[in-house]
């Protein structure tokens, strides 16, 4: 079977999390061929893969959302849109209009458009936007509205106009642009879609936009609602939706996904891979670590502020941030400035490393994200028998406390951005070696019972077979 794996902002450019999950799926299913449809933010990422691609990856198709910066349209053309086409454009910007995604795909892939920018420079688009402003945005300066909406829609329209690889099954690793591409593939080729949602994409974009200083206040709702509409496209088109834990399923249903489509398949790890890890010598140093990308949604700054309090009480502590920092260089720079401002010593940003070389040396692990799904970082730490302090996001509480499984706590869960509570929980663990050992034993027992990698692969192998179909695969092979 040929499977097109659609990844946005992850594989193969970024390590950890969703990328690790994708890499594992492909590696452990050598019987299938995979096409990687990779959507990335910037053209400078082209070809800069962080993974050695498995032999069953037969193609990588790269799409960059900043490509719209180079595209210019012919101003003032008239395309004579039908009422349905006008409504579909309006529906991208307002929930007062019904949305027909297949109709939008047909319109945007029509050969009468030389490029996506032609339409967004046309009189038709100007008229549509004027109608929207008259109804909903009378107090917003029209020029600002025009350029904001144009920059919002151009990457989407360009993405929709891309050529798509043909496959037996399309597996999207998120909603958003990736989910729209999967829906477009179904529209074009009539093949099934499997959607796996690790975190809730639209909620994560909402968190980012609320905090962003590049979006003016009165445009924040417009951007947020836009990303919710992109997610609804994926929910509507998908034949099967997989999420990682029950709360995510509840949110997806709230956002309009049919409950009957949703299945829960947790992440998993192979605990044997984390046996006999290198350990530190008995040097009286307590090491706290975080397996994390240095990006705002992981809230590294709260982590550093908590370590400042830990360091005051326990001078013999060290802190290791284990993960890449190239993804957001500005944020990484801000983190370094915070380290300096707090006069912090013994803080180490390792960059991309082989995590197993470090995990055994850690005494306590920490995760301070403001949004998560079911973090592989926590599962990796638990498989290493390490206790965690984590924020109460995604399934962190479920992982560390269990669902009445009788195993016991594997760490502490605290509110988002509460660096004092993070510090207090970490200090308790640092001071109590017996508690660390007890929580570590609970951690590895819970992973072995509920989060086994072989179960993940078995479940996805079954889904691929049921959606792609044995007969379809045989026909594909014959062709």
pLDDT tens digits, one per residue of 320-370:
999 999 889 999 999 999 999 999 999 999 998 999 999 999 999 999 999
Better-predicted residue by pLDDT, 378 or 218: 378
DSSP 452: B
The values of phi and psi at residue 391, to 5°, are -75, 155
pLDDT digits (tens, 9 = 90+) for 125-146: 999 999 999 998 888 899 999 9
Residue 471 pLDDT exceeds 70? no
- The arithmetic mean of pLDDT across residues 461-469, rounded, is 91
Closest listed residue to residue 245, CA positions, set 385, 367, 378: 378
Token digits for 374?
């079911």
C-alpha span between 234 and 243 (Å, rounded): 13
DSSP 323: B
Residue 476 pLDDT exceeds 70? no
Question: CA-based angle 452:453:457, to the nearest 5?
Answer: 125
Confidence (pLDDT) at 470: 53
Helix (H, G, I), strand (E, B) or coil at 363: coil
Residue 428 pLDDT exceeds 70? yes
Q: Is 329 exposed, middle or buried (0-12, 13-18, 19+ CB in 10 A)?
A: exposed
Q: Structural domains in the chain?
A: 2-69+163-267+455-478 (3.40.50.2000), 71-154 (no CATH), 271-451 (3.40.50.2000)
pLDDT band at 473 (very low <50, low <70, confident <90, very high): very low
Q: What is the 3-state secondary structure (H, E, C) of 157-168?
A: HHHHCCCCCCCC
* 22 alpha carbon, distance to own chain's centre: 12
Closest listed residue to residue 179, CA positions, set 263, 241, 245, 265: 241
pLDDT digits (tens, 9 = 90+) for 240-279: 999 999 999 999 999 999 999 999 999 999 999 998 898 8
Polymer length in residues for the chain: 479
Contacts of 119 (CB under 8 A, 6+ apart): 73, 79, 108, 113, 125, 157
End-to-end CA distance of the chain: 12
pLDDT digits (tens, 9 = 90+) for 65-118: 988 777 777 788 888 899 999 999 999 999 899 999 999 999 999 888 778 888
- CB neighbours of residue 243 within 10 Å: 26
DSSP 395: T
The values of phi and psi at residue 46, to 5°, are -55, 125
Token digits for 212?
């962003």
C-alpha span between 178 and 202 (Å, rounded): 12
**How many helices, marked H, and strands, marked E, lie in the chain?**
19, 13
pLDDT digits (tens, 9 = 90+) for 293-330: 999 999 999 999 999 999 999 999 999 999 999 889 99
Provide, rounded to the nearest whole percent, the portion of the chain with pLDDT above 70. 97
Tally the C-alpha atoms within 13 A of residue 311's C-alpha that lie toward its C-beta. Answer: 15
Token digits for 183?
């829906």
């Amino acid at each position: 079977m040929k499977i097109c794996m659609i990844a946005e902002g992850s594989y193969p450019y970024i390590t950890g999390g969703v990328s690790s999950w994708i890499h594992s799926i492909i590696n452990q299913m050598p019987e299938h061929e995979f096409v990687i449809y990779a959507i990335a933010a910037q053209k400078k990422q082209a070809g800069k893969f962080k993974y050695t691609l498995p032999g069953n990856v037969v193609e990588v198709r790269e799409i960059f959302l900043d490509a719209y910066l180079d595209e210019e349209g012919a101003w003032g053309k008239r395309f004579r849109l039908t009422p349905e086409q006008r409504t579909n454009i309006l529906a991208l910007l307002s929930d007062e209009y019904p949305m027909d995604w297949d109709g939008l795909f047909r319109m945007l892939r029509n050969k009468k458009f030389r490029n996506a920018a032609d339409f967004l420079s046309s009189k038709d688009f100007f008229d549509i936007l004027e109608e929207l402003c008259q109804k909903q945005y009378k107090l917003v300066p029209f020029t600002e509205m025009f350029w904001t909406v144009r920059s919002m829609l151009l990457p989407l329209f360009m993405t929709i106009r891309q050529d798509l690889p043909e496959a037996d099954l399309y597996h999207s690793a998120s909603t958003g642009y990736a989910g729209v591409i999967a829906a477009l593939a179904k529209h074009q080729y009539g093949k099934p879609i499997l959607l796996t949602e690790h975190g809730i994409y639209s909620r994560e974009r909402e968190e980012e936009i609320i905090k962003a200083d590049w979006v003016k206040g009165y445009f924040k709702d417009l951007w947020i609602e836009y990303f919710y509409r992109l997610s609804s496209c994926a929910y509507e088109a998908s034949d099967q939706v997989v999420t990682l834990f029950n709360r995510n399923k509840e949110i997806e249903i709230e956002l309009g996904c049919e409950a009957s489509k949703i299945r829960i398949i947790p992440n998993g790890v192979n605990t044997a891979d984390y046996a006999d890890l290198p350990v530190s010598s008995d040097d009286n140093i307590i090491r706290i670590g975080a397996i994390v990308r240095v990006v705002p949604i992981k809230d590294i700054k709260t982590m550093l502020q908590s370590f400042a309090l830990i360091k005051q009480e326990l001078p013999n502590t060290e802190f290791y941030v284990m993960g890449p920092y190239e993804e957001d260089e500005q944020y990484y720079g801000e983190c370094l400035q915070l380290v300096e401002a707090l006069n912090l010593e013994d803080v180490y940003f390792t960059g991309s490393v082989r995590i197993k070389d470090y995990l055994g040396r850690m005494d306590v692990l920490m995760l301070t994200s403001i949004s998560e799904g079911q973090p592989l970082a926590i599962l990796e730490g638990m498989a290493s028998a390490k206790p965690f302090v984590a924020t109460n996001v995604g399934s962190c509480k479920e992982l560390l406390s269990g669902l009445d499984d009788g195993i016991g706590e594997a760490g502490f869960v605290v509110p988002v951005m509460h660096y004092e509570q993070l510090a207090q929980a970490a200090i308790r663990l640092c001071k109590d070696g017996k508690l660390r050992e007890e929580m570590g034993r609970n951690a590895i027992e819970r992973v072995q019972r509920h989060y086994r990698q072989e179960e993940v692969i078995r479940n996805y192998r079954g889904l691929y077979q049921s959606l792609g179909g044995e007969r379809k695969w045989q026909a594909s092979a014959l062709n």
